[in-house]
Amino acid sequence: MIPSLMIIDDNAVDQKLYSRLVKKSGLVDTLHCFLMAPDAIAFLAQPDRPAIDIILLDINMPRMNGFEFLDEAVSRFGPGFVRAAVIMLTTSISDQDRKRASAYDVVRDYIQKPLEMGHLEGIDSMLREGAF
């Protein structure tokens, strides 16, 4: 079971599809979705916010891209802003993006869109096994 999952992706259609998939999976207790990374930062800044176990983060977004989000979140909150891991969920096939993502200690995986049931099952397994 994934106690708390946050999805940050500027594509509203993808967000709806992912929300349905998450609900259908039965693997996630609590889901937090944000279309804009600055809104996710504001949520993380709340002193009474719930803990977030996994963040699925898009790279290419307006106003603040995924890497800018990571820089801001780590700078403001330290690496503990997420309990287990950030997983890049993106259409980018760039080796440069993959290498850049792996440079962040909090980033543990890089998944090509779209999010699928197997991805959620894999995340659940890794959490249960303590792999994150």
Q: State the residue range of the domain holding 81.
A: 2-128
CATH number for the domain spanning 39: value is 3.40.50.2300
Question: pLDDT tens-digit profile of 31-89?
Answer: 999 999 999 999 999 999 999 999 999 999 999 999 999 999 999 999 899 999 999 99
Two tokens, residue 44: 């993380």
The pTM of the full predicted model, rounded to 2 decimals, is 0.95
Q: For the chain, what is the domain count?
A: 1
Question: pLDDT tens-digit profile of 15-28?
Answer: 999 999 999 999 99
Asked if residues 30 and 4 have their Cβ atoms less than 8 Å apart, the reply is yes
Rama region for 12: left / alpha / beta (φ>0; ψ in -120 to 50; rest): alpha
